[in-house]
Copies of this chain bind each other. A is one copy, B any other.
């Protein structure tokens, strides 16, 4: 096997034979600090950047509005024997973390860690850390519980004149049951696709774990592609396109709103779905939050539960629709946003308007900005609030407050 390991760095995908770095990285230590290792005798500097380090908010001008992003921290690795660079973090709380190395300032993946995630057009390494049983990080990892089915399915959208792809989560036991299940429609953000919530948002893990503990009702989660001119995610779509972030064309909500009945018709035809607003929820992040808000206004009696994560529809021009929606008495209208997020201003504006009009909207404020850590958290909370009346068992008390 020594000969095999030696081939690895030069091997291509067809001859991949193991990590072969001889290093463990990242290594989670007993005190929940994490050690990163990287071998490169020629490098002048090796750094690690990731969301386990304290962040700093950076404001970005998007033209029509400003948005605040949390810029990741950077830490220096120190060179030891044989060109092995090392850095050990402070003890970390339970979460899913992402990181990359910077070798002489250039991004490099950790060759000792096969775990990676793509967000829009950027790959990073990831690791999960569960500080103690039952904490928030526990819900993001795969545990020894029953698992649901995750399917990539194509549906016909007559409105958009194309077949389109969606990802659907079916809870454990679905295939062996004739029960009808409630449905959460869960929409991604700008630059994302139908794989974003399952890959970055850990939907299947969060749902498996909440259901296993009895904190969420078994439900179907439907994650369609929310960019109206893309049929599917990169790799599932014709042509090898490179995804990009926000632009006004992809951020348009109208086409997705117009065609959303195609999604719902497909789901209600092909799965055993419990109907009625008490069994139907819509939620989304950023662009998907705006879309969710607009869909709830278009179909005021369809969705009994509405989740607007770091993205809200405008109040202006929607006053009548909001009146109609709240006249239908939705069971939950839940706005969530990070305190450092540029979307907070509009989130508060919507909440203030609802308060002034006597509409029972909730505003949940978390630390941090426009980041996946918040969206996983919001899903974890929202999933406990829908299709049932019960306490929220899993709360974000373990989250660091560094970005407050």
Contacts and interface: CB of A to CB of B under 8 A. Distances in A.
A77 B373 CA distance: 39
Interface string A107-146: 1110111111111111110111000000000000111101
Interface stretch (A97-105, A253-261, A272-280, A288-296): A97-105
A13 B151 contact: no
Interface in A1-38: 1, 3-4, 7-20
B154 A149 contact: yes
B12 A51 contact: yes
Interface in A199-237: 200, 232, 234-237
Contacts of A117: 13
Interface stretch (A65-73, A322-330, A356-364): A65-73
A89 interface: no
A93 B371 CA distance: 42
A165 B191 contact: no
Contacts of A60: 3-4, 7
A240 B102 CA distance: 23
Contacts of A122: 8, 11-13, 16-19
A271 B7 CA distance: 43
Q: Size class of A's contact patch?
A: 35 or more
B143 A7 contact: no
A273 to B, nearest CB: 14
Contacts of A151: 149-152
B114 A243 contact: yes
A18 B245 contact: yes
A175 interface: yes
Given A11-B72, A114-B234, A16 B119 contact: yes
A149 B114 CA distance: 26
B236 A371 contact: no
Contacts of A61: 3
A99 B142 CA distance: 31
A15 B69 contact: yes
Given A3-B60, A112-B242, 7 more contacts: A7-B58, A16-B120, A18-B122, A19-B121, A114-B121, A144-B238, A175-B270
13 contacts: A3-B61, A7-B69, A10-B74, A12-B51, A13-B51, A15-B70, A114-B242, A142-B232, A146-B163, A148-B154, A149-B153, A149-B154, A154-B172
Interface of A: 1, 3-4, 7-20, 40, 42, 49-51, 58, 60-61, 69-72, 74, 98-100, 102-109, 111-124, 126-128, 141-144, 146-154, 163, 165, 172, 175-176, 191, 200, 232, 234-240, 242-245, 247, 270, 370-373
